[in-house]
Homo-oligomer: A and B are copies of this chain.
């Protein structure tokens, strides 16, 4: 029997938003990151818990959007895009960001774009087949309505490739629920 709303909302909200992950979650994520094609059953064996537990944890992690998806991770380099660059855009501020963002989103080579501090600017990561091809991509960006100026920086090497695992291992936990 429910006596008042506070007996419903607060615990749920806390579970959904305040909580992060516990030790078992972290181990599960690390395991899946190491061997992504593992099934639920195999995970449960490796982690030493029941299959239903792994299934429930996974569902919860996905529901809470801690896990946002399961690849596939496609390598631009393997597709022939060997050049990565970071381009800072100076844009006309009167128009706002949206039109520019829309224009950028229409360029396949723009892999991501962020608005950043420092007066109406955008930082975006682009790829191209060659340095000469990069010029073409930059031209396309400059052609986007609202873009005033660009300044590019080419990535030569990637000593630390994108990763999140150290973060997962480092997150403050709410105690270990597992025995």
Contact = CB atoms under 8 A, between A and B. Distances in A.
Contact of A111 (B36, B69, B72, B163): B163
A70 B154 CA distance: 28
Interface string A105-128: 101111111111110001111010
Given A160-B110, A162-B112, A66 B70 contact: no
B155 A20 contact: no
Interface residues on A, range: 35 or more
A65 B167 CA distance: 25
Secondary structure call for the A interface: mixed
B161 A112 contact: yes
A72 B115 CA distance: 26
Interface stretch (A5-13, A47-55, A168-176): A168-176
Given A66-B74, A68-B74, A107-B166, 10 more contacts: A29-B74, A32-B72, A33-B71, A67-B72, A67-B73, A70-B71, A108-B169, A112-B163, A117-B154, A125-B162
